[in-house]
Structure 1
Amino acid sequence: MTAAIAPLVGPTIGGSIDQWFGWRVIFWLLAVAGGVLFIWCFFRLSETNQSSKQTFREQVKVYVSVLAVPLFWSYSLCLAFSVGTFYALMAGAPLAAKETYDIQPVTLGMYMGSITAGYMLGSFLSGRYAKIHSSTAMILVGRVTALIGPIVALALLGLGLNHPLAMFGPCVFIGIGNGLTSPSANAGVMSVRAGLTGSTAGLAGAVTVAGGAIFSSITAAAVTERNAIIVTLYIMLATTLCAFLAGCWARFLDEQQKKRHES
């Protein structure tokens, strides 16, 4: 839930700066903030593993061994497609907001922030029920919930409801679904190889960020002033569906692993 604070307030702050001072100011502020954080981390953060004697080649071998585990890929792809849905929305929503709905950047930031509020709600529910249900069960519930978002939005669009809430309102389910999915998927991926939690978490993070970059780039390349809404929603539907399939794969592999351990 804490991790959702930045994407909750970030779009609103960025939209306000864009509307009042222009988009170039955002990059200047990011440069200053990045420099301050670099200096802060340089002096305040230290290496926690002081006893490590592992060479770079040995670390690469660890990565290769993790990448060879199918269960790692099922969890990681589920995370990548889940995050990719939100990144696709961020790539396509600004054009749709400007050309179709004629809403200001600060208002768009509020709409985007409401989706992140859904993520916080999903994370809260995950904390309540993850102790009762398995990780893969929580993931599948999250993926089904996330599918509601683009399906309902496309249905409303097909009914001719041309309003920002018809697009962004149902997308709150994507935030809730991702909030239900991410904690369990992260926990699952870190349990793939005992003793290699850091390596698996790092690789899963890299796959997730790469997925977000890929789907935001695809969306930005595909949308135009005339098709921004429909294309963005269809890409989001495709990514949520792929995340659901990855979750089903994780469920299957997890059940197979449990059967091997029992036998």
Structure 2
Amino acid sequence: MTAKPPARYLDRSTPPHISTLIAATSLGAMSMNIFLPSLPQMAEHFEVDYALMQRSVTLYLMVNAILQLGIGPISDKFGRRPVLLGSFLLFSLATVGCLLAPTAEIFLGFRIAQAVVVAGLVLGRAVVRDMVPANQAAAMIGYVTMGMALVPMIGPAIGGVLGETFGWQANFVLLLVTGVVVLALTWFDLGETAPVSTGRFRDQVREYPELFTSRRFWGYCGATTFASGAFFAFLGGAPYVGSEIYGLTESQVGYYFGAPALGYFVGNFVSARLSTRLGINTMILYGTSISTAGVAIPFVFHFLGFDSALLFFGSITLVGLGNGMTMPNGNSGMLSVRPHLAGSASGVGGAVMLAGGAALADLAGSWLTGSPHALPLIVIMLSSSAMSLVAIVYTIRRERFVVGA
């Protein structure tokens, strides 16, 4: 790989600064959760049921998954920079629409349009893979996702204060300002990193089978999907477990919700420090093993007669830790299988991960209804984590015995 000049801040002739990549990937996470505490207020403002406003989350996730399939190949053909700039511009315009929407239906339309910001997450990883080799990419992605992990930890708290003090619109004013700042930062700091493509977009799409027939790609994809699936299941079931089973207050549930996020932050730091030295497969193996062990703890103790909120949520911290080690390395692995299709791999992998995680979150909510204990959620999370471990073991064996698979 040709050596690239060192990054100089706000100089798009050099590779982008890591802070630019963190900002680009974090904007989508911020858009996802900052306004959630204001949903009841928004339902009252638009004079609709809360369930209708809740669709601003569901529809956003669905469109995110769909867009990820197209953003990758488009960026492989036309470049990372124009796609990122276009997505951040459209996101900012859609945010203005959310602020000015006179009805809930129009708001939901603009909210769906905001999903275009997912390009930052998809292409942030692809830009890293464009710049550095696979093991080094895993370390750099670790730093990027470590910074991005802070947003889900503090976003709802900031949004709650803004909504309570200034009204729900304040959340979208902040999103608009942040979107414009990220757009400007991308314009001045992020030059084109993708290899030059001379083929037609139609030819790019025809290369999908090359990616889909790679068993190693699906191995990495399975490891990340099932690892994140355990966390999505936690998000879908933990509020019920905390309030209905353990009798926690809303503030206590919010406090315990930070446990896996803290573990994820630490896991990202470990990944950033050790991935280059140990290799992506070893890091994923360690990460999925830690996550599976973390969910196994409350599973075993349940049958021994020990059950408490501290035991459950404390153990889930290990799931966050394991995922923090698994996700950046799994993403790097997916992108490295077919480097010339890095954007496509990032998009497909992200879409599969999001769709699978959403399904597990819904399953967790359904199975927990009426349950007197947390075992249904624990079983779903343990099964998903165990499958992520199986997936990386398969991938390691495939790489060892089938060269170029």
Alignment TM-score, normalising by the size of structure 2: 0.56
Could you tell me which amino acid in structure 1 is paired with residue 305 of structure 2? G
Residue 348 of structure 2: aligned partner: 203
Residue 107 of structure 1: aligned partner: 252
Q: 1:213 to 1:156 in 2, by over 3 A?
A: same
Q: Is the 8 A contact 1:150 1:237 kept in 2?
A: yes
Which of 194, 201, 204 aligns to 1:59? It is: 204
Q: Is the 8 A contact 1:144 1:244 kept in 2?
A: yes
For 1:12 and 1:152, locate their aligned partners in 2 and report how far apart those are by CA, in whole Å. Answer: 30
Which stretch has the larger CA shift, 33-42 or 66-75? 33-42
Residue 133 of structure 1: aligned partner: 278
Cα deviations by residue, 1:239-261 (Å, 9 ceiling, x for unpaired): 00011111111111221244x69
Q: 1:239 to 1:33 in 2, by over 3 A?
A: farther
Could you tell me which amino acid in structure 2 is paired with residue 103 of structure 1? L
Q: Is the 8 A contact 1:12 1:109 kept in 2?
A: no
Identity of aligned residues (%): 29
Residue 225 of structure 1: aligned partner: 370
Cα deviations by residue, 1:136-173 (Å, 9 ceiling, x for unpaired): 11111111111111111122323333321111001111
Residue 172 of structure 1: aligned partner: 317
Residue 152 of structure 1: aligned partner: 297
Q: Is the 8 A contact 1:186 1:201 kept in 2?
A: yes
Higher normalized contact order (CA 8 Å, seq sep 6+, divided by chain length): 1
Cα deviations by residue, 1:20-54 (Å, 9 ceiling, x for unpaired): 96xxx87x776666666666667775695797665
Could you tell me which amino acid in structure 2 is paired with residue 90 of structure 1? L
Residue 223 of structure 2: aligned partner: 78
Q: Is the 8 A contact 2:245 2:372 kept in 1?
A: no
For 1:10 and 1:154, locate their aligned partners in 2 and report how far apart those are by CA, in whole Å. Answer: 31
> Is residue 2:394 matched to residue 1:249?
yes
Question: By how many angstroms is 1:185 displaced?
Answer: 1.0
Residue 382 of structure 2: aligned partner: 237
Q: 1:96 to 1:30 in 2, by over 3 A?
A: farther
Residue 49 of structure 2: aligned partner: none
Q: 1:12 to 1:148 in 2, by over 3 A?
A: farther
> Is residue 2:326 matched to residue 1:181?
yes
Could you tell me which amino acid in structure 1 is paired with residue 262 of structure 2? A
Q: Is the 8 A contact 1:12 1:106 kept in 2?
A: no
Question: By how many angstroms is 1:13 displaced?
Answer: 5.4
Which of 87, 98, 112 aligns to 2:243? It is: 98
> Is residue 2:353 matched to residue 1:212?
no
SS state of the match for residue 225, structure 1?
coil
Q: 1:50 to 1:150 in 2, by over 3 A?
A: closer
Q: Is the 8 A contact 1:120 1:179 kept in 2?
A: yes
Which stretch has the larger CA shift, 50-59 or 168-177? 50-59
Could you tell me which amino acid in structure 2 is paired with residue 147 of structure 1? T
Which of 62, 68, 80 aligns to 2:213? It is: 68
Question: By how many angstroms is 1:66 displaced?
Answer: 1.1
Q: Is the 8 A contact 1:126 1:180 kept in 2?
A: yes
For 2:332 and 2:195, locate their aligned partners in 1 and report how far apart those are by CA, in whole Å. Answer: 25
Could you tell me which amino acid in structure 1 is paired with residue 280 of structure 2? S
Q: Is the 8 A contact 2:259 2:316 kept in 1?
A: no
Which stretch has the larger CA shift, 180-189 or 78-87? 180-189
Aligned residues: 253
Which stretch has the larger CA shift, 219-228 or 197-206? 219-228
**Aligned Cα root-mean-square deviation (Å):** 2.8
Q: Is the 8 A contact 1:12 1:107 kept in 2?
A: no
Could you tell me which amino acid in structure 2 is paired with residue 207 of structure 1? V
Could you tell me which amino acid in structure 2 is paired with residue 199 of structure 1? S
Residue 77 of structure 2: aligned partner: none
Q: 1:107 to 1:123 in 2, by over 3 A?
A: same
For 2:303 and 2:170, locate their aligned partners in 1 and report how far apart those are by CA, in whole Å. Answer: 41
For 1:4 and 1:52, locate their aligned partners in 2 and report how far apart those are by CA, in whole Å. Answer: 33
SS state of the match for residue 132, structure 1?
helix
Q: Is the 8 A contact 2:243 2:253 kept in 1?
A: no
Cα deviations by residue, 1:77-99 (Å, 9 ceiling, x for unpaired): 11111111001011111111111
Could you tell me which amino acid in structure 2 is paired with residue 121 of structure 1? V
Cα deviations by residue, 1:76-127 (Å, 9 ceiling, x for unpaired): 1111111110010111111111111221223212212121111111111122
Q: 1:197 to 1:50 in 2, by over 3 A?
A: closer
For 2:284 and 2:379, locate their aligned partners in 1 and report how far apart those are by CA, in whole Å. Answer: 22
Question: By how many angstroms is 1:134 displaced?
Answer: 2.2
Which stretch has the larger CA shift, 213-222 or 77-86? 213-222
